[in-house]
Amino acid sequence: MKKIRAILYQNSLVLKIFLVLLVSILSVTVLTVYSSMRMSSQLFMDTFSITNTKVMTQINERFYTFSNSIISASMAMENNGVIKQQLQEEYNSSLENHEYFYTIGQEMDKLQAHINDEATIVLLTNNNETFNTNFGVWDVDARILANSNIKRQIDQSQNKVQFFYENSELTNNQPMILVGKALKERSTQSTYGYFFTAIRERNLRNFYQEYTSEGNNILLLTPSGKIISSNLRDKIGEDSDELLQHVLDYEQDIQEYKSIQVFGQNYTILAEYVPSLHIYIVNLIDQDLLAQNLIDTNQTIIISVTVAIIALILAFIIVRKMTSSMSDLVYQISDMARYQFNKPLEVRGGYETRKTAEAFNYMLNELQDYVKLLISTQEKQRKSELKALQHQINPHFIYNTLTSIKFMMNQGKKEEASQTIESFIVLLQNTISNLDEIITVEQEIENLKNYVQIMQTRYSDRINVHYFVSPTSLELYVPKLILQPFIENAFFHAFTHKKAGHIHILVAEKDNFLICEMIDDGDGMKQSATQKHAPSKKNQLFSGIGVRNVHERIQLLYGLRYGVDISSEPGKGTKVEIRLPIEKKKT
């Protein structure tokens, strides 16, 4: 037992390195196998998605052509003076009535040329009479159509083309897609008839049937979540809010495809919206079915295990030869921290060991020189940037304030302008003349109140500002002019549409931070996830030079944990949150 312990102790470095290599090689092997399988699947899905994207484009073009033909037919009917005249006149004799049916029938036959042969055009009159170009597609009952929910929805649609899926008595219990539109007199906006187009679901399926296969499915989905057509026959007519939500999420995503779980299976989804028909074309690719035919998992694992065993044997042989001469070098390096990396290694041992020691010593000398230079450079850069930022803020503030004074002078408010100039002088004394970069919260709030007084003179108290400052925060220190740019932007931009409102200033300690918030109930703005921080370079509501500099100043002074966050919602207002460290002493 003692001999075994002695052998283990003498070869501890060999064993440690070999164990590390063992774990590393096994980990790399497992990760490589996993990554290879994943990358193969990913590559296949990328290639498949590119192909399917082109297919979706072709399907979309077919539906676009179909929708154009429907719109063309509806416009042709609405602009047909003969039909309009015939529907608006009264007929007292059987001869006149016969001529009425004959004339409209002739015009309907002309309209049929606008649409697909597998579809039909139906005209419903206000007298509940119907004219049909193809009874073989839809033998419609005028009474049922006149009293249907479809007609009522068209009446409420503000003269827009409406798209419906129907499988009821109205369509003789046949699944059909119906398109309808009210025919209105332009001068009076009175309805003189209704235009309908119908196509059977099995005929609509021909638009995409040739692009489907096992595991590659196409569904037509309405904005309400109803599946109106699909090669998955059992899904036709179902309402699927889950699938609709995945489609809406896909539209918001920038990826070409997205993995989802729907109908109890894993799918890859692609979707396109057809605005003219108000439907979504959804492509669902069965991931499990594709994976079964893509990779031979057993063969991949056997090859990977064989490679890993060979690599371990070679690694053990090489490590065993290297460690005898490297042991002393390892001991020296492990003891290096005691001397703060100032003591060079002793160059001795075999060729590899000597070269390693020489290279390490050279690297150590270069590293020490570089660290000294880096510390010096960073300190100079930080001071220069802070000084530049401070110089940018003051001209920006002065420019906007003088603009306000000029505005009052142009309105003839000389006394108010004089008072504003006096307030401006006091404010400048506390900001520009005061060379301190760091001031107390109390001083910052006083400076802010002077600025607000100037702005309220211009805005005639339409914008009220309220202050909620914790007494314990008054003596804490903050960078100068961190609140003024935001209240300035609120006055100038937050109440463009809303002519009056409130701004709330809150300052308090929370969770080891000093939190300064400015909340307004103004116009608000749209913002994406990338626009939540102040230093955005885009032209947005809060992207002025002052606002951007506040965020940069804070991070230069205190680090990346601190800074500015902006959240906003159109019509509800904007919230600015400034996170600062709790500084009880001036630094």
pLDDT, tens digit (0-9, with 9 covering 90-100), for 93-124? 888 888 888 898 888 888 888 887 889 999 99
Nearest to 294 by CA among 49, 32, 39: 39
Model confidence over 430-478: pLDDT tens digits?
A: 665 555 678 899 999 988 888 888 778 767 678 899 999 999 999 999 9
In whole angstroms, give the CA distance from residue 38 to residue 28: 15
Residue with the two structure tokens 């959804």: 282
pLDDT in tens, 238-265: 889 999 999 888 888 877 778 888 988 8
Say what the pLDDT of residue 530 is.
38
Q: What is the signed CA dihedral for 134, 136, 142, 147, rounded to 10 degrees?
A: -110
The pLDDT of residue 572 is above 70? yes
pLDDT number for residue 544: 43
Please give the torsion angle defined by the CA atoms of residues 288, 293, 294 and 297, in that order, rounded to the nearest 10 degrees: 90
pLDDT in tens, 411-430: 887 887 787 788 788 777 76
pLDDT band at 541 (very low <50, low <70, confident <90, very high): very low
Encoded tokens for 569: 């919602």
The pair of three-digit structure tokens given for residue 186, joined into one six-digit string? 């332009």
Query: pLDDT category, 538, cuts 50, 70, 90?
Result: very low
- % of the chain with per-residue pLDDT over 70: 81
pTM, two decimal places? 0.42
What pLDDT is stored for residue 586 in this prediction?
73
Q: What is the 3-state secondary structure (H, E, C) of 508-522?
A: EEECCEEEEEEEECC
If you average pLDDT over residues 486-502, what whole number do you get? 87
The CATH number assigned to the domain with range 80-204 reads 3.30.450.20
- Strands (DSSP E) along 114-264, which ranges? 119-125, 130-132, 162-166, 176-184, 191-200, 216-221, 227-230, 258-262
Number of CB atoms found within 10 A of residue 130's CB = 18
Sign of torsion over alpha carbons 179, 183, 186, 190:
negative
Q: Which residues contact 435 (CB under 8 A, 6 or more apart)?
A: none
Residue 554 has pLDDT above 80, yes or no: yes
pLDDT tens column, 6-32 = 666 655 666 677 677 777 777 877 777
Q: Can you tell me the mean pLDDT for 553-562?
A: 86
Binning pLDDT at 50, 70 and 90, where does residue 61 land? Answer: confident
pLDDT at residue 378 greater than cutoff 70? no
More confident: 570 or 397 = 570
- Which of residues 389 and 243 earns the better pLDDT score? 243
Residue 536's pLDDT is: 44
Query: What is the tens place of the pLDDT at every residue in 41-59?
Result: 666 666 666 677 778 888 8
Q: What's the average model confidence in pLDDT over 550-570?
A: 88
Structure confidence at residue 529 as a pLDDT band (50, 70, 90): very low
Of 344 and 472, the one with more pLDDT: 472
**Average pLDDT taken over every residue of the chain:** 80
Structure confidence at residue 358 (pLDDT)? 83
Contact 80, 207 (CB under 8 A): no
Q: Which two tokens stand for residue 458?
A: 């211009």
- Name the band, by pLDDT with cuts 50, 70 and 90, for residue 397: low
How do residues 86-97 score in pLDDT, each as one tens digit? 888 887 788 888
pLDDT at 364: 80
Kindly state the percentage of the chain with pLDDT values over 90. Answer: 15
- Mean pLDDT value of segment 198-222: 86
CATH of 379-580, one of 3.30.565.10, 3.40.50.1980, 3.30.540.10, 3.20.190.10: 3.30.565.10
Contact 212, 235 (CB under 8 A): no
Give the least confident one: 214-218, 239-243, 566-570. 214-218
- Altogether, the residues listed in the chain come to a count of 587
- The conformation of residue 482, written as its DSSP 8-state character, comes to S
Cβ–Cβ contacts within 10 Å for residue 530, how many?
8
Is 258 buried (19+), middle (13-18) or exposed (0-12) by CB count in 10 A?
middle
Least confident among 19-23, 129-133, 169-173: 19-23
pLDDT of residue 13: 61
What's the pLDDT at 325? 66
Q: What is the pLDDT, as a whole number, of residue 535?
A: 43
Mean pLDDT across 127-132? 90
> In whole angstroms, how far apart are CA 274 and each of 56, 182, 283, 438, 582?
11, 21, 14, 58, 55
Taking the CA atoms of the chain, what radius of gyration do you get in angstroms? 38
Task: Supply the pLDDT for residue 295.
Answer: 61
pLDDT in the model for residue 12: 65
Q: How far is CA 322 from the centre of its chain?
A: 54
Whether 288 has a pLDDT exceeding 90, the answer reads no
Strand, coil or helix: 439: strand
Beta bridge partners of 503: 465, 520
The pLDDT, as a whole number, for residue 144 is 92
**CATH 3.30.565.10 domain locations along the chain:** 379-580
Domain with CATH 3.30.450.20 in the chain: 80-204
